[in-house]
Structure 1
Amino acid sequence: MKIDLHSHTLCSDGVLSPEGLIARAIEKGVDVLAITDHDTVAGLAPAQQAINAQQLPLQLINGVEISTGWQQLEIHIVGLNINPQCPQFLQRLASQQQARLVRAEEMARRLEKNQIPDVLPAVLALANGAALTRTHFARHLVSIGKASSMDGVFKKYLGRGKIGYVPNNWVEMADAIEWIHDAGGVAVLAHPLKYKLTTKWVKRLAEQFAAAGGDAIEVISPQQTPVQKRELWALCQLHGLTASVGSDFHQATTWNDIGKNLYLTDDVIPVWANWPLQGNAVTPA
């Protein structure tokens, strides 16, 4: 069974519609997929509708990825099996969306101060109602020739310490874990090796994530080495956590695709160990 528990649609900073993401997952032989857009659950209903309408052999896991603050760093927490209709949860996500807008306004102001005008209207149009992220800013700046690549934009304008960088104003990590639990879900520390932390700080992050009530660590992501996977699983064992897998899919690239290279060895306890996975069956509406 091929399982991918971390993916994005154009409801946040992915490039595919929810329906397009479902089609891609089917094409790549994925059996179980979690859609985990940034601070929004808007893509879940249309994705499930596409599965039901076409009777596709794919089980959808309701998910979200919440941007959080920890030690003045931005840390992402994935929520899996959340209730996307929970009123309290939706209100909390709305507060994150407002924080995203406030941050975007300040980013645009700083860029305009540095002779890059009219950024916010362009970014809002590009996002088209999606959760605003720095990726939208990067795509716009590439489109107007300020850099030749997304990486170039972050290195010159949007990375920490650059002219367009604005510190995050997200919910604290422990609070996000509580939000997820209150919505009936499990909390997963997303891609812990992407934060460019030293080994000491990754260990500290895992320890404090577990102490705050976290449930699992994303131990399998594309491009990780077998040694890195084993080290992350060792952290799970140390803190009584289970293991998750996720491509963090935004768009197909030469090094990443939905469901690519996601596998766990038999000695690893997966986050889905007690879930009612259905294999090649359509999830009930």
Structure 2
Amino acid sequence: MKNATLNQLSNADLHCHSKVSDGTLEPEALAARAKANGVSLWALTDHDEVGGQQRAMDAALALGLPYLTGVEVSVSFAGRVVHIVGLGFDHRNEALVAGLRATRGGREQRARDMAAGLAQVGIKGAYEGALKYVGNPELISRTHFARFLVEAGHCGDISEVFRRYLTEGKPGYVEHRWARLGDAMRWILEAGGQAVIAHPARYSFTPTEEYALITEFIGHGGRGVEVVTGSHSDADAAKYTETAIEFNLLASRGSDFHSPEESRTDLGQMKDLSGRLSPIWQLLETRIHWPPASTP
């Protein structure tokens, strides 16, 4: 065991995004921000992409910050997009990399269709405008369109863009076919990692739908659920504390940080997990990359 104990990792932040997907900072800048904010264990979890993992790991370890590999996989379940966070896997695993590449496929056509829908309501040049914010063209997303629409003066902030233009039934919404839950779970687990249901309160599932998600997730080998996250209120955290206990799930914690200007929760600035919960990083002890200074 390294000098840093698992009990000293309570300010873990295991969910955030870089410019490699839909964040605005490079992996190295995120590592520095996490370190400055007192994060004790960090994971970069870009959407459907592990291209920033080595950079994030190298930067974190150089700063003396323990690191877990991470990714946030987009999954279709019960007619909604659900996100599964993978942690502690081999980011060079060929099956994982290929699966994520296939999941990303089709984003360009979806983006062009979104732009066409926006053009029909008088918003021209949205595709080209969104591209200005894209670090990886394979991962062009609604967030990139939202940033363009705010910059162009069509809306005051990103939340307004989503309400008016980018949610189901609105002019710029186009559905994409994401990975199946079982496929995403297999990629993560066979690469040596563990899977976590990300921000479950965001999906607005009925109790029956949520029960189906959790039980199918567990059936595929899932072990964790995000309890404390930038997407959850205190009431949500209390609810999913009980959910984790009920289903014997380990708890995860992450800011879901994307940008200094846009995110309501900064890296490492979340409340602690309840002492009644077992954190996911206890299961991932052997998968943590420790800085050289932590070696006995």
TM-score, structure 1 as length reference: 0.90
Aligned to 2:225, what secondary structure does the other structure show? Answer: strand
Q: Percent identity?
A: 34
Q: 1:233 aligns with which of 232, 241, 244?
A: 241
Distance change (3 Å), C-alpha of 1:223 and 1:126 = closer
Distance change (3 Å), C-alpha of 1:154 and 1:213 = same
Counterpart in 2 of 1:115? Answer: 122
Cα deviations across residues 175-221 of structure 1 (Å, max 9, x unaligned)?
21112112211111000011233445433332332233322110111
Q: Distance in 2 between matches of 1:261 and 1:153?
A: 26
Distance change (3 Å), C-alpha of 1:95 and 1:224 = closer
Counterpart in 2 of 1:149? Answer: 157
Counterpart in 2 of 1:80? Answer: 87
1:211 corresponds to 2:229? no
- 2:44 touches 2:69 (CA, 8 Å); kept in 1? yes
Q: How does 1:1-285 map to 2 (within 5 A)?
A: 1=9, 2-52=11-61, 55-129=62-136, 131-222=139-230, 224-252=232-260, 255-274=264-283, 275-276=285-286
Distance change (3 Å), C-alpha of 1:80 and 1:143 = same
* 102-111 vs 79-88, which moves further: 102-111
TM-score, structure 2 as length reference: 0.87
> CA offset at residue 231 of structure 1?
2.6
Distance change (3 Å), C-alpha of 1:105 and 1:70 = same
> CA offset at residue 282 of structure 1?
5.6
Amino acid at match of 1:50: A
Counterpart in 1 of 2:6? Answer: none
- 1:13 touches 1:250 (CA, 8 Å); kept in 2? yes
Q: Distance in 1 between matches of 2:112 and 2:203?
A: 25
- 1:246 touches 1:262 (CA, 8 Å); kept in 2? no
Unaligned runs of 5+ in 2: 1-8
Aligned to 1:273, what secondary structure does the other structure show? Answer: helix
Amino acid at match of 1:39: D
- 2:165 touches 2:171 (CA, 8 Å); kept in 1? yes
Cα deviations across residues 123-148 of structure 1 (Å, max 9, x unaligned)?
22320325221100101111112111
Cα deviations across residues 220-249 of structure 1 (Å, max 9, x unaligned)?
113745553343133223333211111111
Unaligned runs of 5+ in 1: none
* 103-112 vs 34-43, which moves further: 103-112
